Chain A
């Protein structure tokens, strides 16, 4: 049993182990994914994040942590961006667990006035010393990175040194539908790592090279990662900008981003095995629920089917 697991999680883990044994798969190969209930942003989110990090035995002490939220545009009536209170909670959790530094970094895809957007979205108000912690990845210094076994038409990408230099890059997306790929979660959130200063606003090179394939390539380019998905309030319908807020009341987290995103899809009522980028990136059948060691709340306790636009109705999870 893993230290720090609750009794319920331990039981769930044991059950999963039995299931695995029955399938003939070794339990240790199953990626761990947490679902933690959070009814609202006013809850003690930092303790929830700490609990997640302990359960996943994340090595934090002495590490340089870079948090990558999803900051796109601001509309006070919508739920486009990762909520700043969850980001603030992650900053506090990583600091309290001995991180050498906790930085926040993002490179929005359409807008150049990143700091003003962050201010409008509440990041300055809710996160202490936000501007000192923050790097606009669109105008960060870059290095050329050769892509290993690329799925897309790209052989290399210029990527920001702040993200490349992180000991742990923490993807903190909003749980949203996406009008091009079905769902945008921890993996798609890495599009924000691609520097506008080189590729522009939008980062159109990724669209021409194949969006699902580029999602898989970026996932592979940053192997030291962890995911904490803001599913407290997500977005359904015509996401990632023009959709409607969708209350789910959950945080989904784990070190295996394919497994985390597949679990989010189950929560959203989306069949992850039909999401192209997840199929491209999966290495151990993570799009199947049985191949993920899910702890915390069961999926059925937080499942909230997201409204899908017509083009993605075929992704609807059966049952």
Chain B
């Protein structure tokens, strides 16, 4: 569905479910689109009834372990806890600080050492997984770093600073040879892998405020992807990242990209605001 730019906010609001949340493609509410919709409404200063109902839905999904599940039918807390924190649910931080990728647990490190298993990338770094009990990957690590950066504003703790540093180290270790990032595997069986637009955007955004050759290569890769990427979420993450690093991206032209659902609309609003120097993710230094 192609929409004129002025229609994006009403489109996003029209996709809100009766229970207050937002879904991907159906009337079932999920944490990810709800959190991004709330971030978009915050960026537009739309603290309306819609925002309040969305926040209540998100709050109600908090689990007894302190984390958030992807949707009500799922009985495990996952990476979306970081999105909930970004959308204002600060008490998810404790859950995030307890989580690491499985490969960095003591048991797994001992097992790998005994078996002589070598990783092709990210050896020894500590990031976050998509799902408990699995390995760390680029996007959940980047989103969690962004969430902790947000919360550090309201009181820096040593544990938070340490995990942010570790997370950023893990992200830098997974950069692809082309300078960008993919899902988190820069090499497979000795063969170099290429970066993706959306993951390059998310990771580079999480590295805002940093300088150096790896960041310069990342910015160059993000610019290349931004020229070619037609997917609205990919372009939006890239716009957010480039804005955060002071590289002004060109506005996203509606019609050149297709806005299909609430996630698209929320991301587009966040990108538009970032291009107007109102970046919802990079308000603080790491």
Contacts and interface: CB of A to CB of B under 8 A. Distances in A.
Nearest to B183: A110
Instruction: Name the interface size band of chain B.
Output: 35 or more
A198 B74 contact: yes
B131 A113 contact: no
Interface stretch (A24-32, A56-64, A140-148): A140-148
A158 interface: yes
Contact of B73 (A135, A144, A208, A311): A144
B230 A200 contact: no
B191 A204 contact: no
Interface in A297-318: 309, 311
Contact of A242 (B78, B137, B191): B191
Dominant secondary structure of chain B at its interface with chain A: loop
A115 B206 CA distance: 26
Contacts of A119: 230
Nearest to B27: A141
Q: Is the interface of A mostly helix, strand, loop or mixed?
A: mixed
A200 B137 contact: yes
B81 interface: no
B130 A200 contact: yes
Contacts of A143: 73
Interface in B70-104: 70-71, 73-75, 78-79, 102
A60 B131 CA distance: 38
Contacts of B71: 141-142, 197
A107 to B, nearest CB: 12
B32 interface: yes
Given A110-B183, A142-B71, A158-B74, A199 B102 contact: no
Interface string B48-83: 000000000000000000000011011100110000
Contacts of A199: 130-131, 134
Nearest to A201: B183
Interface residues of A, number: 32
A241 B192 CA distance: 12
A112 to B, nearest CB: 6
A157 to B, nearest CB: 11
Given A144-B73, A204-B137, A238 B24 contact: no
Given A115-B258, A207-B134, 19 more contacts: A110-B196, A112-B198, A112-B233, A113-B233, A141-B26, A141-B28, A142-B71, A142-B73, A144-B75, A158-B73, A197-B24, A200-B134, A201-B139, A201-B183, A202-B137, A205-B134, A208-B135, A238-B191, A242-B188
Interface of B: 24-26, 28, 30, 32, 70-71, 73-75, 78-79, 102, 129-131, 133-135, 137, 139-140, 182-183, 188-189, 191, 193, 196-198, 230-231, 233-234, 258, 260
